[in-house]
């Protein structure tokens, strides 16, 4: 069964892609495309904050397209987490919060990780795969 989640991105506060991973066979991107999408999203997110008619807007949270949903979560530090998933997928916001939790645990508490740099932490990958696998059951249905 293909997961409903296509891919997961983490971008640092200056818009650089620091983590990217495909889940399932649909919607795979090559390295250039993933970098492009990440920086594009970063700028769009920043512009949306300025353009928003409501006060205290933190940027786009959900982008609904014909073929995918893009859900974004921005941490207080400016690090953005977003997933691309099948249209109409539920529970993506809580998935992102959980991903944030894992990031805080296995990336920030790792003495060998440099802040704002690409994430290469074995434990983070491992627990992320577990989380997505567990979530497949919940979101997938």
Give whichever of 78 and 118 is closer to other proteins, judged by the CB atom. Answer: 118
> Please, what is the minimum distance in Å from the beta carbon of residue 122 to other proteins?
4
From candidates 40, 62, 123, 138, binder to other proteins by CB under 8 A: 123
> Please, what is the minimum distance in Å from the beta carbon of residue 38 to other proteins?
23
The number of residues that bind other proteins (CB under 8 A) is: 13
| DSSP state string for the chain | ---SEEEEEEE-TTS-EEEEEE-SSTT---HHHHHHHHHHHHHHHHHHHHH-SSTT-----EEE-SS-EEEEEE-TTS-EEEEEE-TT---HHHHHHHHHHHIIIIIIT-TTPPTTSPP--HHHHHHHHHHHHHHHHHHH-
> Please, what is the minimum distance in Å from the beta carbon of residue 123 to other proteins?
4
Q: Residue 27: name the closest of 75, 65, 55, 73 by CA.
A: 65
What six digits make up the tokens of 30? Answer: 């090559």
Task: Return the residues of window 75-114 that contact other proteins according to CB under 8 A.
Answer: 105-106, 108-112
> Please, what is the minimum distance in Å from the beta carbon of residue 108 to other proteins?
8
Give whichever of 56 and 111 is closer to other proteins, judged by the CB atom. Answer: 111
Give whichever of 99 and 139 is closer to other proteins, judged by the CB atom. Answer: 99
Residues that bind other proteins (CB under 8 A): 105-106, 108-112, 120-124, 126
């Amino acid at each position: 069964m293909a997961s409903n989640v296509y891919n997961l991105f983490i971008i640092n506060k200056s818009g650089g892609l620091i983590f990217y991973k495909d889940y399932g066979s649909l919607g795979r991107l090559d390295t250039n495309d993933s970098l492009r999408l990440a920086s594009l999203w970063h700028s769009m997110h920043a512009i949306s904050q300025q353009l928003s008619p409501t006060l205290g807007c933190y940027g786009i949270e959900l982008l609904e397209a014909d073929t995918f949903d893009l859900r974004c979560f921005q941490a207080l530090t400016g690090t953005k987490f977003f997933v691309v998933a099948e249209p109409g997928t539920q529970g993506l916001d809580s998935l992102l919060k959980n991903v944030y939790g894992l990031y805080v645990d296995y990336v920030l508490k790792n003495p060998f990780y440099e802040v704002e740099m690409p994430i290469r932490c074995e434990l983070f990958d491992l627990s992320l795969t577990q989380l997505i696998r567990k979530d497949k059951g919940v979101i997938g249905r």
